[in-house]
Amino acid sequence: MKKLLLLLSILTSFSSCAQELTCADFKEGEFLIPADSLNPESYKISRKNGTQLELDENGDEIKINIKYKDDCNYILTYQESQNLDDLANYINNSGGIHIKVLEIKGDTLTYSGLIKNDTLSYEMPGKLIKLD
């Protein structure tokens, strides 16, 4: 009986040591947005101080501002200092992409992005994988 209690105690201590990530853990650091059926390319993401730098597979950089509503909800807008294409301008003029965190499993955050204006409401799911 003592061996069983000791084994249970050890197993409990191991499982309590495993740290689960929260929304706050995805505010800064290095991440990956993997390619999927909506995005044919993967993007490497670096976040720090409310700014997101996206690097595509060709090495092109995109700078994005992050405005946090809370740890799990935020708005992404492209920095105006860049040469923005029509889509980036459209997103900015629509108030940005509104991100809502849906779930965190292991090192992966699943989100829903929403672009909405007077004529369009477009929802896009995605994943963000923590690298560091």
In a domain, 70, yes or no: yes
What is the domain count for the chain?
Answer: 1
How many C-alpha atoms does 45 have within 13 Å on its Cβ side?
24
Averaged pLDDT, 16-37: 87
In a domain, 2, yes or no: no
Domain containing 108 equals 45-132
Reported as a pLDDT band with limits 50, 70 and 90, residue 109 is very high
In a domain, 94, yes or no: yes
pTM of the predicted protein model: 0.82
In a domain, 18, yes or no: no
Highest mean pLDDT among 9-13, 33-37, 58-62, 88-92: 88-92
In a domain, 72, yes or no: yes
Which residues does 22 contact at the CB level (< 8 Å), separation at least 6?
71, 104
pLDDT at site 123: 94
* Secondary structure element (H or E) that encloses residue 94, with its range: none
The alpha carbon of 23 is separated from its chain's Cα centroid by a whole number of angstroms, namely: 9
In a domain, 28, yes or no: no
Q: Is residue 11 pLDDT above 80, yes or no?
A: no
In a domain, 84, yes or no: yes
Neighbouring CB atoms inside 10 A of 48's CB total 12
In a domain, 50, yes or no: yes
